């Protein structure tokens, strides 16, 4: 359910206009920022995620207010954020006092509410079915992106210390763990995730990319036709993230690589996704490039899977 009735946080009811709880590096939040930018809504003021005074909570015309919840400093594992998003993940959107969670549901809400070129065009029933099918496939691979990102991108930086892990468990006891964070971190923090698990996620992603490649090979501009849809939005953020981890798209999926080039050139991608993410994007790509050159990177694992 996108709309959350009776949210626990008193901040929600005070908010006017559009406020996005997000993090610049998080693909799930990048998707929403991309969709907002495609609708012509620009990033406005930055306020603390838990600020609840009148000035912080006001709305802005033609813009959304940015409330960064740092995954780096683990603000998503705070009591205040747990009251906004009990699954302890970004993003969350508040529009005129109403809370919405789940990135793809938020995008559907934005599409319905703000008009412009539709991200979910309904005129062609077959195409609509295809958009939903590919979006659902993208959603189902969300955990695979998590595993690959942590293993080949974040490394030690992604780990929780024992205090943070205890805080996560305490919050989950009171609320939810819809994204299975406890199960993940317990094993990741102890280096207990086997190579076969990572390989399974890479294989699942490879299947998805092969499907996209087959579609895009016919020269269409976007995954389901010649206009951008929410299927492009969800898949583009996977490519962005995996590219940062050194995934060899150009070599194995050239049509996907070229399609992503078209997405990257869109003004909404530049402003909505990359504006404040350039530095981290470059840092991760440089690290991944060095690891690939040393033969210890994602490229080797992917190529092993593709030829298996």
Within 13 A of 282's CA, how many CA atoms are on the CB side? 5
Three-state DSSP state, 1? coil
For ligand GSH, the closer CB: 104 or 223: 104
Tokens of 253: 């999926």
- Minimum distance, C-beta of residue 202 to ligand GSH, in the bound complex (Å): 18
Q: How far is the CB of 28 from ligand GSH (least distance, A)?
A: 3
216-223: long-range contacts, CB 8 A cutoff, minimum separation 24:
216/255, 216/256, 216/258, 216/259, 217/255, 221/259, 221/262, 222/259, 222/262, 223/134, 223/259
**Residue closer to ligand GSH, measured from CB, 76 or 201:** 76
Q: By C-beta, is 16 or 164 nearer to ligand GSH?
A: 164
* Cβ nearer to ligand GSH, comparing 15 with 237: 237
Task: Return the number of the residue (89 or 99) whose C-beta is nearest ligand GSH.
Answer: 89
Token pair for residue 223? 């995954």
Q: How far apart are CA 161 and CA 221, in angstroms?
A: 45
Instruction: Judge contact between 64 and 18, C-beta under 8 A.
Output: yes
Min dist. Cβ of residue 239 to ligand GSH (A): 14
Summarize as ranges the residues that interact with ligand GSH (CB under 6 A). Answer: 26-28, 71, 76, 89-91, 102-104, 142, 179, 181
Pick from 187, 206, 175, 196: which is nearest to 85 by CA? 175
């Amino acid at each position: 359910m996108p709309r959350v009735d009776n949210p626990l946080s008193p901040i929600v009811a005070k908010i006017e206009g559009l406020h996005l709880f997000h993090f610049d590096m998080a693909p799930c939040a990048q998707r929403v920022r991309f969709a907002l930018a495609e609708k012509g809504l620009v990033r406005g003021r930055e306020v603390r995620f838990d600020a609840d005074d009148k000035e912080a909570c006001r709305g802005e015309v033609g813009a959304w207010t940015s409330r960064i919840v740092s995954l780096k400093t683990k603000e998503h594992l705070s009591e205040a954020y747990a009251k906004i998003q009990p699954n302890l993940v970004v993003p969350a959107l508040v529009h005129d006092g109403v809370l919405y969670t789940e990135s793809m549901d938020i995008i559907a809400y934005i599409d319905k509410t703000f008009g412009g070129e539709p991200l979910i065009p309904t005129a062609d029933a077959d195409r609509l079915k295809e958009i939903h099918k590919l979006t659902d496939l993208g959603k189902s691979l969300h955990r695979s992106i998590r595993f690959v990102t942590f293993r080949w991108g974040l490394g030690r930086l992604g780990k929780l210390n024992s205090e943070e892990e205890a805080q996560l468990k305490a919050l989950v006891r009171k609320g939810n763990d819809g994204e299975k964070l406890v199960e993940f971190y317990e094993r990741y923090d102890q280096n207990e995730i086997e190579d076969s698990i990572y390989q399974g996620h890479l294989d699942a992603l490879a299947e998805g990319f092969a499907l996209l490649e087959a579609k895009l090979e016919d020269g269409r501009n976007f995954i389901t036709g010649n206009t951008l849809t929410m299927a492009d939005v969800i898949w583009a953020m996977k490519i962005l993230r995996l590219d940062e981890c050194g995934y060899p798209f150009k070599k194995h999926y050239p049509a996907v690589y070229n399609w992503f080039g078209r997405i990257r050139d869109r003004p909404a991608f530049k402003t909505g996704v990359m504006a404040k993410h350039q530095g981290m994007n470059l840092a991760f790509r440089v690290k991944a490039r060095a690891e690939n050159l040393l033969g210890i990177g994602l490229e080797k694992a992917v190529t092993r899977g593709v030829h298996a």
